[in-house]
Amino acid sequence: MIYLYTIYGIFIFFATLFGIVIGSFLNVVIYRVPEGRTISKGHSMCMSCGHELAAKDLVPLFSWLFLRGKCRYCKAPVPSRYAKIESLTGLVFMLAAILHKETALWILNTDVYFIYDFAYYVLFVIAGAATIATMMIYHDTGKGFPGLALYALIPGILSTTLLTLYTKKIDWVLSLKYTAIACLISAIFVILCKLSAFITKAEYTKADLGMDMDFAGIMLFAAYLWMGHYDVGLITYLSYAVAYIIFRRAMKGRASDRYTGIIAAAVVVILMIIRYFI
């Protein structure tokens, strides 16, 4: 038993570190994607002195902490925002690891079904990373990228296939049925969002579509935590959809609208934590 908890602890630790590294990549995505720039090329440099940054200056989160938020070369303060996004991504990966104890046990278990659980964890963190990028780009620029939102929506739908296979011991027919339901309720989520804009005569931009697709996808994961209680999962999903739509419409056109993505994501995280404790 102690051995199992050691493995669980190690899994949580490395998942958190991995999240911090992915958060560093997200900083690049959030900064460059709205400008239409490539995310794979180019050196990082200090925004103040233009000094090219070395590997030791680019260790996610830890370089910033070690240098006390200052540039190594010119001592100009480095905005805490990069470290905050890295910490947030680390936190999401850590939370996902805590919620998926079975994923850690996969290392010890030869049962093929644990692979599904590990794949589910990977899909979840991809969707979580896409959601962080979507909400921060919306916050910064008011732009939205439906292409980026697909990184939350497609893993959300795929996780249905996986989870049904996992819990029903490879029942393809049932799995495809639940995948179809996941596609349907995601489509309903986005259509209701668009319809609410049409009814209130509000504009519906590509930014809105990107955000709505993203949250339709990430909410699938929150709803699936109610495995075995599909009715409660569905009620959770639909309640969230209604609250999300009312909130988004009420905030549209206000200066504080840029925070709506961040608030919507915080609610998903709270729902997941509540589920873990009940």
CA distances from 217 to 60, 61, 62, 64 (A): 28, 28, 32, 33
Residue 59 Cβ, how far from Zn ion at the closest point, in Å?
Answer: 17
Rounding to the nearest 10 degrees, give the CA dihedral for residues 90, 96, 98, 104. Answer: -100
**Choices 64-72, 128-136, 207-215, 263-271; region in contact with Zn ion by CB under 5 A:** 64-72
177 Rama sector, left if φ>0, alpha if ψ -120 to 50, beta otherwise: alpha
* Nearest distance from C-beta of residue 77 to Zn ion, angstroms: 10
Q: Kindly state the number of chain residues that form the binding site for Zn ion, as judged by CB under 5 A.
A: 7
Element (H, E) at 266: helix 260-277
At closest approach, how far in Å is the CB of 49 from Zn ion? Answer: 3
39 vs 74, which CB is nearer to Zn ion? 74
Nearer to Zn ion, 70 or 168 (CB): 70
Instruction: Name residues whose C-beta falls within 8 Å of residue 237's C-beta, 6 or more positions apart in sequence.
Output: 185, 189, 219, 220, 222, 223
- Binding positions for Zn ion, 65-124, rule CB under 5 A: 71, 73-74, 76
Task: Identify which of residues 46 and 269 has a Cβ nearer to Zn ion in the complex.
Answer: 46
Q: Is 58 in the site for Zn ion (CB under 5 A)?
A: no
Nearer to Zn ion, 67 or 262 (CB): 67
∠ CA 260-134-157, rounded to 5°: 105
State which residue, 49 or 246, has the beta carbon closest to Zn ion: 49
Q: Cα–Cα distance between 184 and 200 in angstroms, integer? A: 24
Site for Zn ion in 23-52 (CB under 5 A): 46, 48-49
The separation between the first and the last C-alpha atoms of the chain, rounded to the nearest angstrom, is: 23
Q: Which residues bind Zn ion (CB under 5 A)?
A: 46, 48-49, 71, 73-74, 76
